[in-house]
Amino acid sequence: MRPSPALAALAVVSALLAAGCADRGGSDSDGAPTAPTVSAASADFGELKNVCGPGNPTAAPAQGVTADEVEVGVLTDVGFSKNPEFVDAAKVFTSWCNDAGGINGRKIVANIRDTKFMEVRQRVLEACRDDFALVGGGAGLDHLGVRDRVSCLLPEFPGQVIKLENEGSDLQFSVQPGGASYLRNAAFYDWLLKEAYPASASAVGIIVGDSIKSSGEQRIEFLRAWGANVAYSDLYPATGVSNWTPYAQAIKNKGVKGLIFMGDFRMLAKLEQELTNMDYKLDWIDTNVNAYGHAFVDITGSQVLNAQNNMADLSGIHPVEDAAGNPATRQVVDLFAKYAPGAEVSIGAVKSFSAWLLFAKSASACGDNLTRKCLYEQARKETAWTGGGLQAPRDMSAQDSPSQCCNVVKATPDGWKSVDVKANQGSYRCGVASYKLTGSYGKPVTLADVGKSVNDLT
């Protein structure tokens, strides 16, 4: 992989830390039984056949595409967040794919575009100059570069999307369930409020990092539409809180039974320690997917985890700790062990791997004439994308659509465990409730917004 040039030191600690570090959870390969070693020559992944393979390309039909290589960019905040999940996923996927022959004989070169959190636009402009597409990455401030990406007609296959201006923007194929017009976790909240803990609907609380205020507003809109009573809502400074006692006391005074937390899981751990010290136990806490990983379990501790009921919605991504029961997830764990020993297989890494698979399958279908137009057209044909079995189906031709499935995990002193939500499609509960937002929270950038159309793709 080719790292981008060294960047200036980050001077501003942004309040969007929690969003930028989303999906840092997951469990490492030690948490799953060892599967049979994956052959380096195999071009198959899960249910997908011939994802990568040899060939004899001769053309150089697009920017970043020669007869020998395909250059793609990988957005990451690793220089700020120190979370290497997208870098690791890029290393593992490209190593495996190139060992199998590449994209019809073209080797994939992953250019790491480290935003260091604040330099998103600079990295996107570099990708506009050099790369064929953006693949398998993400940035906490992804909205800062989306207009530039759409303007330069750069396709994107992200591992995560954060801001509404970017989520579902044109020329983007996100494997992340849900669309910008819908509340992604509606099915999870519906299950909590109507099935698992119906009494909690009388007193729901929500606390959100001040930099992602709109995420809280969307959930408040949903809760009220669903007939729940929002007994408590507050913002906290995402740059940090020195004393969580006043927040915990307010939650207790309001008699909150179910709590939605949006932000840095390290802050949540401190809040829960205060609640537990007050001997106040909630029916449930939505940790958000940020917390899904061994780090939250480690810093929260067994006393708190035994006292509080921490759950997270994976929205149809198969949990890593259950890899033994899912061949595709098991294969990812194997490939990480082979090409990036010791690297954590996080949920972000799994989504990134699914995005890489979608890119490679679409690009391979183009043959020697690998253009952005062909890549776009091939990706849109995937109307039930599962990443070979890594996730519940996702229609790539309809990015702004509700999540179709949900699955829930619970944090315990022994790690994260799957919760029974009455699955009806493998590990997932599908055909679930959805909610279309009515408030104004922003909208994805379109080609029309920058004076272009899909006909400009070549």
Question: Would you give the DSSP letter of residue 253?
Answer: H
Q: What is the pLDDT of residue 240?
A: 85
Could you write out the DSSP letters of every residue in 297-351? HHHH-HHHHHHS-EEEE-TTBPPGGGGGG-HHHHHHHHHHHHHSTT---BHHHHH
Contact between 287 and 204 under an 8 Å Cβ cutoff? The reply is no
**199 CB burial (10 A radius; 0-12, 13-18, 19+):** exposed
Instruction: State pTM to two decimals.
Output: 0.88
Q: For 112-127, what is each residue's pLDDT tens digit? A: 999 999 999 999 999 9
Q: What is the pLDDT of residue 344?
A: 92
Max CA pair span of the chain: 70
Structure token digits, residue 65: 């595409």
Q: Quickly count: other Cβ atoms within 10 Å of residue 279's Cβ.
A: 8
Question: Would you give the DSSP letter of residue 211?
Answer: G
Q: What is the pLDDT of residue 108?
A: 98
- Residue 443: band (very low, low, confident or very high) from pLDDT cuts 50, 70, 90: very high
Distances from the Cα of 340 to the Cα of 19, 32, 37, 166, 251, angstroms:
26, 16, 14, 30, 43
Q: What is the pLDDT of residue 187?
A: 96
Q: For 228-253, what is each residue's pLDDT tens digit? A: 999 999 999 988 899 999 999 999 99
Q: For 43-52, what is each residue's pLDDT tens digit? A: 899 999 999 9
pLDDT: which is higher, 296 or 41:
296
Question: Would you give the DSSP letter of residue 291?
Answer: G
For residue 35, pLDDT over 50 is answered with no
First to last CA, the chain: 26
